[in-house]
Chain A
Amino acid sequence: MTTILLIEQVLNGIQSGIMLFLMAAGLTLIFGVMGLINLAHGSLYMVGAFAAAAVSAATGSFVIGLIAALAAAAAAGAIVEYTVIRRLYDRDHLDQVLATFALILIFSEGTRYLFGSFPLFLDIPSALQGPITLPGGIQYPLYRLVIIGVGLIIAVGLFALIARTRIGIQIRAGEADREMIAALGIDISKLYTLVFALGAALAGLAGAMVGAIQSVQVGMGEPVLILAFVVIVIGGIGSIKGALVGALLVGLTDTLGGVLLPPLFATFMDASAATSVGSSLASMSIYILMAIVLLFRPTGLFGEA
Chain B
Amino acid sequence: MARESFINAILFALLPLTALVAYMLDEPFIITLATKAAILALAGVGLNIALGLGGLVSFGHAAFFGLGGYAMGILAHHAQTYAPIMEYPLLIEGTKSMPVIWLVAVLTSGIAALAIGALSLRTSGVYFIMITLAFGQMFYYFAISWPAYGGEDGLSIYVRNGFPGLNTLDPIQFFGIAFVVLAVVVAFVGRLARSPFGLALSAARQNAERVETVGIRPYRIRLTAFVISGAVTGLAGALFADLNRFVSPTMFSWHMSGEIMIFVILGGVGRLWGPVAGAALFILLEHVLGGLSEFWHIYLGLLLLLVVLFARGGIIGMLAGREKAHD
Contacts and interface: CB of A to CB of B under 8 A. Distances in A.
Contact of B146 (A276, A291, A299): A276
Nearest to A104: B301
B119 interface: yes
Nearest to B304: A102
Interface stretch (A7-15, A66-74, A93-101, A126-134): A93-101
A95 B307 CA distance: 10
Interface string B123-139: 10111011101110110
B119 A295 contact: yes
A284 B137 CA distance: 9
Interface string A260-293: 0000000000000000100110111001101100
Interface string A87-113: 100000111011101111110111011
A87 B295 CA distance: 26
B134 A287 contact: yes
A260 B142 CA distance: 17
Interface of chain B: mostly helix, strand, loop or mixed: helix
Contact of A291 (B119, B129, B296, B309): B119
A300 B127 CA distance: 9
B301 A106 contact: yes
B142 A97 contact: no
Contacts of A169: none
Interface stretch (A47-55, A144-152, A200-208, A227-235): A227-235
Interface string B42-59: 000000000100000101
A45 to B, nearest CB: 16
B254 A105 contact: no
B230 to A, nearest CB: 17
A37 interface: yes
Contacts of A176: none
Nearest to B303: A102
Interface stretch (B164-172, B173-181, B261-269): B261-269
B131 A112 contact: no
Contact of A102 (B134, B254, B302): B302
A6 interface: no
B147 A113 contact: no
A298 interface: yes
A109 B308 contact: no
A233 B134 CA distance: 10
A112 B296 CA distance: 12
Interface in B302-323: 302, 304-305, 308-309, 312
B297 interface: yes
Nearest to A230: B134
A97 B254 contact: no
A234 B147 CA distance: 29
Given A93-B57, A109-B297, A226 B133 contact: yes
A181 B145 CA distance: 50
B163 to A, nearest CB: 33
Contacts of A233: 127, 130-131, 134
Interface in B136-190: 137-138, 141-142, 144-148
B269 A287 contact: no
Nearest to B127: A233
B103 interface: no
Given A37-B126, A102-B304, A226-B254, A109 B298 contact: yes
20 contacts: A37-B130, A84-B305, A93-B126, A94-B265, A98-B262, A101-B258, A101-B304, A102-B308, A103-B305, A104-B301, A105-B301, A113-B298, A230-B130, A233-B131, A280-B142, A283-B142, A283-B145, A287-B134, A290-B131, A299-B123
Nearest 4 pairs of A and B residues by beta carbon: A105-B301, A287-B138, A283-B141, A102-B304
